[in-house]
């Protein structure tokens, strides 16, 4: 049995993520209060829709921030991978919240299109303008850390969509003021709902792929299988699994049937070769690899067959 364990923990990156998330949460929460007040005073559904979006994003940022702190907890005998997966669960929760607010806003926007109401444009415009400026500031805060983790990516996309939502409210306020078209507010609210839907789908899909332990999109399990099969001493490869543990940590396990005549020294050198292949040969570095060496006939005695197994 050959094992290689290599875990990279960038504490500086984690600290940076928490600082960015905290700053974005402060800004988003402030805008949420401003937009709720502005929406209630003006009667603007699009502004309340954007405020609802802000509420989801604020909740998501709280979840993301909590996940960022949980990631600091050490591994133990119960959670042998640590709390890395918590960021993936948090991203899935955010996606679910986005779906709910999307349906709520969409329904009320359609009702507003059917039965438009008179709104007070001035507080609507001012609140949306404050939201636009604040969102632009949040984008600046989160931009540098958007690739650090799935949580940071989710937070950045949330704020980016919020910015477009605030812009839509401003445009609808200008149209309403200039033309008196009462359905402009409903159209803007519907636009905010449509804006949220694709982001929720993408985020949920990314989270579910990791939770279902799918092979990372940047890796091809068949390519890995063929590469290992072509190495010296290898007679068969089976039970090959490749999955993402958390952002930046990919795990690989495989059973390698090797020639019966290999010596202990040859096995040790070959294990080193396999580890180097996993870490540097493929498009995405595999941080953690575990290989089980066995004679070819051993697979006939295994009771459970799973993973990539080609013949």
Return phi, psi of residue 290, to 5°. Answer: -135, 125
**What average pLDDT does range 148-174 have in this prediction?**
79
Could you give the 3-state DSSP secondary structure of residue 289?
strand
More confident of the two residues 18 and 126: 126
C-beta separation of 64 from 151 below 8 A: yes
Model confidence band, residue 220 (pLDDT cutoffs 50, 70, 90): very high
For residue 239, give the H/E element and its range. Answer: strand 234-246
C-beta separation of 177 from 121 below 8 A: yes
C-beta separation of 135 from 118 below 8 A: no
- pLDDT for the residue 256: 92
Model confidence band, residue 223 (pLDDT cutoffs 50, 70, 90): very high
56-70, 125-139, 224-238: which range is least confident on average? 56-70
- pLDDT for the residue 143: 76
Question: Residues near 212 by Cβ (< 8 Å), separated by ≥ 6?
Answer: none
- pLDDT for the residue 240: 93
Evaluate if residue 102 carries a pLDDT over 50.
Answer: yes
Evaluate if residue 159 carries a pLDDT over 90.
Answer: no
- pLDDT for the residue 310: 54
More confident of the two residues 1 and 155: 155
Q: What is the pTM of this model?
A: 0.71
Evaluate if residue 253 carries a pLDDT over 90.
Answer: yes
C-beta separation of 194 from 227 below 8 A: no
C-beta separation of 188 from 105 below 8 A: no
Model confidence band, residue 221 (pLDDT cutoffs 50, 70, 90): very high
Distances (CA, A) of 100 to 54, 94, 105, 275, 311: 13, 10, 9, 45, 47
- d(C-alpha 241, C-alpha 248), whole Å: 17
Evaluate if residue 40 carries a pLDDT over 80.
Answer: yes
- pLDDT for the residue 9: 43
Question: Residues near 167 by Cβ (< 8 Å), separated by ≥ 6?
Answer: 132
DSSP 8-class letter at 296: G
Model confidence band, residue 151 (pLDDT cutoffs 50, 70, 90): low
Annotate 114-127 with DSSP letters as a single string: HS-----HHHHHHH
**What average pLDDT does range 28-47 have in this prediction?**
88
- d(C-alpha 179, C-alpha 134), whole Å: 28
Evaluate if residue 3 carries a pLDDT over 60.
Answer: no
Model confidence band, residue 243 (pLDDT cutoffs 50, 70, 90): very high
Nearest to 19 by CA among 113, 155, 178, 114: 155
Could you give the 3-state DSSP secondary structure of residue 4?
strand
- d(C-alpha 99, C-alpha 97), whole Å: 5
Percent of the chain whose pLDDT exceeds 90 = 17
Percent of the chain whose pLDDT exceeds 70 = 86
- pLDDT for the residue 5: 44
Annotate 114-181 with DSSP letters as a single string: HS-----HHHHHHHHHHHHHHHHHHHHHHHTTTTS-HHHHHHHHHHHHHHHHHHHHHHHHHHHHHH--
**Ordered structural domains, the chain, with CATH:** 13-212 (1.20.1510), 221-301 (3.30.70.1350)
Which residue is associated with the tokens 């907890």? 73
- pLDDT for the residue 292: 92
Evaluate if residue 10 carries a pLDDT over 50.
Answer: no
Model confidence band, residue 94 (pLDDT cutoffs 50, 70, 90): confident
**What average pLDDT does range 295-305 have in this prediction?**
65
Sheet holding 2-4, edge to edge: 2-4, 288-294, 249-258, 234-246
- pLDDT for the residue 14: 58
Model confidence band, residue 11 (pLDDT cutoffs 50, 70, 90): very low
C-beta separation of 71 from 10 below 8 A: no
C-beta separation of 133 from 112 below 8 A: no
**What average pLDDT does range 35-51 have in this prediction?**
87
**What average pLDDT does range 224-231 have in this prediction?**
91
Angle between helices 150-179 and 86-114 (to 10 degrees): 10
- d(C-alpha 39, C-alpha 50), whole Å: 9
**CA 26 to the chain's CA centroid:** 21
């Amino acid at each position: 049995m050959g094992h290689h364990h290599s875990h990279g923990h960038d504490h500086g990156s984690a600290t940076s993520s928490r600082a960015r998330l905290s700053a974005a949460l402060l800004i988003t929460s402030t805008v949420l209060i401003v937009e709720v007040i502005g929406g209630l005073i003006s009667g603007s559904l699009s502004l309340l829709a954007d405020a609802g979006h802000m509420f989801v994003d604020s909740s998501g940022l709280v979840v993301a921030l909590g996940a960022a702190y949980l990631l600091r907890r050490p591994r133990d005998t119960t959670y042998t991978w640590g709390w890395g997966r918590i960021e993936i669960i948090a991203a899935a929760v955010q996606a679910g919240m986005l779906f709910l607010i999307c349906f709520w806003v969409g329904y009320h926007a359609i009702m507003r299109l059917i039965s438009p109401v008179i709104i007070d444009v001035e507080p609507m415009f001012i609140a949306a303008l404050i939201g636009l400026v604040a969102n632009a500031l949040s984008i600046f805060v989160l931009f540098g850390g958007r690739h650090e983790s799935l949580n940071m990516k989710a937070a950045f996309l949330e704020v980016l969509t919020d910015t477009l939502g605030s812009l839509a409210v401003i445009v609808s306020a200008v149209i309403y003021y200039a033309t008196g078209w009462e359905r402009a507010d409903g159209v803007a609210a519907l636009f905010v709902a449509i804006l949220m839907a694709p982001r929720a789908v993408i985020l949920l899909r990314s989270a579910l792929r990791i939770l279902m332990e799918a092979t990372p999109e940047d890796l091809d399990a068949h390519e890995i299988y063929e590469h290992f099969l072509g190495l010296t001493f290898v007679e068969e490869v089976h039970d090959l699994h490749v999955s993402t543990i958390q952002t930046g940590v990919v795990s690989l396990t495989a059973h390698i049937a090797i020639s019966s005549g290999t010596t202990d020294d040859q096995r040790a050198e070959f294990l080193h070769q396999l580890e180097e292949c996993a870490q540097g040969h493929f498009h995405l570095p595999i941080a953690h690899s575990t290989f089980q060496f066995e004679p070819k006939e051993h697979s006939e005695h295994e009771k459970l067959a799973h993973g990539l197994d080609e013949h």
